[in-house]
Amino acid sequence: MSTRRDGRTAGRPDASGGGVMQMRRTNGGALRVGVVGSGGVGKSMISASLARILARRGRSVLAVDLDPNPGLAYSLGLAPNDDGLPAESTVRVEKGGLYGWAPAPEVDLTTAALTLSRVAPDGVRYLSPGKIDASGDAKGEVKRCLGTVRQMVDLLEAPWDVVADLEAGTTTPYEGYARFADTMVVVASGAWRSCVAARRLLALFPDMPAVVVATKSTPGASDASRWGLPVRHTIPFDPDVLEAERHGRAPIDVCPDGPALSAVAALADLLLETRPMTVSAPRAAAHR
């Protein structure tokens, strides 16, 4: 085990703002966060708001959409579309009779986050696997792009804060979609089902630092701690968030100073304070 080649273990984060080039030189302490939880608890709202809050603090942020259903782009304030990755950026790999997808060898992983993403408000970069459309071709295009995006994030060498929004539930975390992360944000509302799902998710990653977030809490009502979850952080119910999402607007553009967004900002502080500063060997070697 050694430090990453990109020097993530060295030094404090660059909070001075500025462009990608600058960030690339001083990338210590970049966040690698996977946001998981049962359906509709607010994963996309949190991922998107977190990404934009980090970007507003001058950090380079890659918001990775690991859900083939429409969601994250709306919460980011980015016009949603179904675009995945161009065919030439992906390559089919066979292994033991099975096949998967990976970034094509020509793809420069230090710049892939820039070249294959779209620019969202506040300069957040949005990397999407494409979306399942009404044709129902989930196994074709989306499989190709999702498989590649996963790998790309795994292999990424640039100093980006990575915030990835996973699909609802336990399936894709079980399948290893959050392997890239060094911290898991596990989200639960007060409902029994969401708490049991959170417990199952925590059991899937016994060795990964996790921050359990109770969402949509209302004064007086019991929240996730009632069902035995070690709640670390709470995001209150904010009717303005609901209203924003109802109209397809990013919550941070509608109620940036409201209770929910303030709580996401505090979550950003918490993640930056507690982020692991040592990580395992660079995985990019396998790509070459």
Partner 1 sequence: MKIVVTGKGGAGKTTISGALARLLARGGHRVVALDCDPSPGLGISLGLGPEATEAAPAVLNSLVALGHTHNDPDPDPEDLLTRFGVDGPDGVRLLVGGKVEQLAGACVCCGSHSTTRKLFSNLPHEGRVVLADLEAGLNDLIWASPKADDIVIALAEPSAKGFEIARRACELAETMGVGQRIVVANRANGADVETLSELTGLAAVAVPDDPAVAQADREGLAPIDVDPQSPALLAIASLAEQLGLVPALAAAQPERRG
Ligand X SMILES: Nc1ncnc2c1ncn2[C@@H]1O[C@H](COP(=O)(O)OP(=O)(O)OP(=O)(O)O)[C@@H](O)[C@H]1O
Beta carbon nearer to Mg ion, 76 or 85: 76
Please give the radius of gyration of the chain, using alpha carbons only, rounded to the nearest integer: 18
DSSP assignment letter at 140: I
Among Mg ion, partner 1, ligand X, none, what binds residue 147 when CB lies within 5 to 8 Å by partner kind?
none
Q: Which of 189, 214, 223, 250 binds ligand X (CB under 6 A)?
A: 189
Using CB under 6 A, which of 193, 222, 230, 278 touches ligand X?
A: 193
b/e burial code for range 17-53 (CB count within 10 A of at least 16 → b): eeeeeebbebbebbbbbbbbbbebbbbbbbbbbbbbb
> Residues 15 to 44: which contact Mg ion by CB under 5 A?
43-44
Q: To the nearest whole angstrom, how small is the minimum distance from the Cβ of residue 179 to partner 1?
A: 11
* Closest residue by Cα to residue 177 from 136, 206, 203, 148: 148
Q: How far apart are CA 210 and CA 73, in angstroms?
A: 25
Contacts of 64 (CB under 8 A, 6+ apart): 127, 149, 153, 162, 163, 164, 165
Question: Which residue's Cβ has the minimum distance to ligand X?
Answer: 39
DSSP string, 90-139: EEEEEETTEEEEEE-TTS-TTTHHHHTSEEPGGG-EEE------TT--II
Token reading at 232: 């670390």
Site pattern 181..220 for partner 1 (x: CB under 8 A): ---------xxxx--xx--x--xx----------------
Q: Quick one: CA dihedral 270, 202, 59, 71, positive or negative?
A: negative
Minimum gap (Å) between residue 251 Cβ and ligand X = 7
What, of partner 1, Mg ion, ligand X, none, does residue 68 touch, CB below 5 to 8 Å by kind?
partner 1
Q: How far is the CB of 172 from ligand X (least distance, A)?
A: 11
Q: Which of residues 42-81 bind partner 1 (CB under 8 A)?
A: 43-44, 67-71, 74-75, 80
Alpha helices (runs of H) in 171-279, residue ranges in sequence order: 171-174, 192-204, 239-246, 251-254, 259-274
| Residue 182 interface partner, choices ligand X, Mg ion, partner 1, none, CB cut-off 5-8 Å depending on type | none
Give the footprint of Mg ion on this chain (CB under 5 A): 43-44, 71
Give the footprint of ligand X on this chain (CB under 6 A): 37-45, 67, 71, 75, 168, 189, 191, 193, 215-216, 235, 237-238, 241-242, 245, 260
Give the footprint of partner 1 on this chain (CB under 8 A): 38-41, 43-44, 67-71, 74-75, 80, 132-136, 138-139, 167-171, 174-175, 190-193, 196-197, 200, 203-204, 221-222, 226-227, 242, 245-248
